Amino acid sequence: MNHSSLSTFLRPVLSLALVASGIGTAQAAVSVCVDTSSPTVEMDKAIAAAVAKQQNTTLTVHDFDGTGDDEEGFDLKEFNAMAAKDCQLVMGFPVDASSSGLPEGMKATSAYGRTGFVLVTPVAAAAHSLSTLPEGSEVAVAYQTTPNLYFADHPKLQASVHPTNDAAISALEQKKVGAAMLWRPSVVGYLAKHKEAKQFDYAELNEPHARWNLVALYDPANAAAAQAFETSIKALQANGTLGKLLDPYAVAVDDQAKSVAAAPKAAATGADNKAAGGNGEAAGGAKKVVTGSGEAAKLYTSAQAERGKADYAENCALCHGDTLSGRSGPALKGKHFANPAANFHVGDIFTIVSQNMPATQPASLEPKVYADIMAFLLQENGYPAGDKELTFDDAKASKEPLIYHGASK
Ligand code: HEC
């Protein structure tokens, strides 16, 4: 089964199990790889076609299936190899607009589009922000996607977790829930397939990590092709072609991107700008930062991690495994858990742990115990011990990137 991990918070987004399928070497002037499991695949193809046309040349499209087919999920090496060999550009890679992160060794074009998570409500009871939903509303989300985090800041809402975006919107359609928080391209895809289900309204979520840039990834050797792509995108933007192609998927630019830890309450103001249409503008803001190479901070002491180890064994191991490699719950160590591309911070994961875990008795442990367990998780993900203990408040506020730094020593 799908081993969930931090990266799977973005599963509908970063579906990157890059199993390259029957591929030849690219010869055409424009060649792209597209993820057939991504809800933006048709748009990505259409944009690539428009770029090729703009360059007055031909287009080769290599399909790959980005859904994980094994426990390891995607393999970055395979991904890099694909980008080096099979196409100049890998379309449709979402980059968190409030931070950034790319697979190591890869470069990204500036954003050609923007999309994100939206609040979907029935037209008859339309709401445009979480704070305007009636108290006690049940809100459907897809398993381990970013919006699962939003319940922490909106305790009056009830989470209804579904295996996929389609299942979540279907629950809304059947009136089992009052609203849903979903990846906009998935909603667009669902509504296209279910023509009868037209009675929905959707609005941008003004919440942390809700907005994403779409970029194309490329191997540094293909820098010239990437530059030509960017030039074409600008031209397509200027003549309105790009806006039309992006329109159903687009969300507006968010200048006040906040992280979960920094935003205990999402501001109600500004949250009700309707998403309908979007502005289709390609924001050139994708930062070309490769995370994961920095020095890991010393956030805890080894004595604390030792205590955390015992607390973990008692409270968490049953579901997450004695060695943190996962059982009924996902793995809590390794590059898929602490994946730089997911752009989560220590504070984000600590919020999940302290508010949702143990899954059977959420928030039932002492604050100090949660902090100790977090120390143990950090140790197991290769963070070095220091001489200051991690406190509950520090853990919650921590902006330290959650990145696997290798096996603990
Ligand atoms: C009864 C089983 C169970 C227990 C006990 C449990 N968890 Fe979980 N945990 C889960 C399940 C299932 C998920 C995935 C579903 C979800 O995200 O809600 C999960 C998700 C998580 C996640 C999110 C991981 C990711 O990559 O998405 C973290 C972190 C986590 N648990 C930590 C802990 C810690 C720390 C403890 C002990 C204090 C603990 N859990 C106890 C079942 C459990």
Determine if the pTM surpasses 0.85: no
CB 54 within 8 A of CB 235: yes
The per-residue pLDDT for 73 is 42
Question: Would 115-204 and 302-397 be classified into the same CATH topology?
Answer: no
Q: Residue 69's pLDDT band (boundaries 50, 70, 90)?
A: very low
* % of the chain surpassing 90 pLDDT: 32
- Homologous superfamily (CATH) of 6-113+212-249 is Periplasmic binding protein-like II (3.40.190.10)
The pLDDT tens digits of the residues spanning 144-165 come to 788 888 888 888 999 998 888 8
Between 20-34, 181-195, 371-385, the lowest mean confidence (pLDDT) is in: 20-34
**Regarding predicted confidence, which is higher, 99 or 179?**
179
Torsion of CA 104, 107, 111, 116, to 10 degrees: -20
The pLDDT tens digits of the residues spanning 79-125 come to 677 777 788 999 988 887 665 566 677 888 988 998 889 999 988 88
Distance, CA of 235 to CA of 119 (rounded, Å): 32
The per-residue pLDDT for 315 is 92
User: Where in the chain are the domains?
Assistant: 6-113+212-249, 115-204, 302-397
Ligand 1 closest atom vs CA 349:
29
**Ligand 1 proximal residues by C-beta, below 6 Å:** 4-6, 9, 144, 315-316, 318-320, 328-330, 332, 337, 349, 352-353, 356-360, 373
Dist. CA 65 → ligand 1 center (Å): 28
Helix (H) or strand (E) holding 230: helix 223-238
DSSP reduced 3-state for 242: helix
Q: Residue 287's pLDDT band (boundaries 50, 70, 90)?
A: very low
Distance, CA of 384 to CA of 297 (rounded, Å): 7
- Find the mean pLDDT for residues 190-208: 80
Dist. CA 353 → ligand 1 center (Å): 7
Res. 222: pLDDT tops 50? yes
Name residue 4's amino acid: S
- Homologous superfamily (CATH) of 302-397 is Cytochrome c-like domain (1.10.760.10)
Q: Residue 373's pLDDT band (boundaries 50, 70, 90)?
A: very high
Ligand 1 closest atom vs CA 318:
5
Q: How many residues are present in the chain?
A: 409
The answer regarding whether domain 115-204 maps to CATH 3.40.1390.20 reads no
Torsion of CA 267, 269, 271, 273, to 10 degrees: -160
Query: Cis peptide before 264, with omega less than 30 degrees from 0?
Result: no
Res. 331: pLDDT tops 60? yes
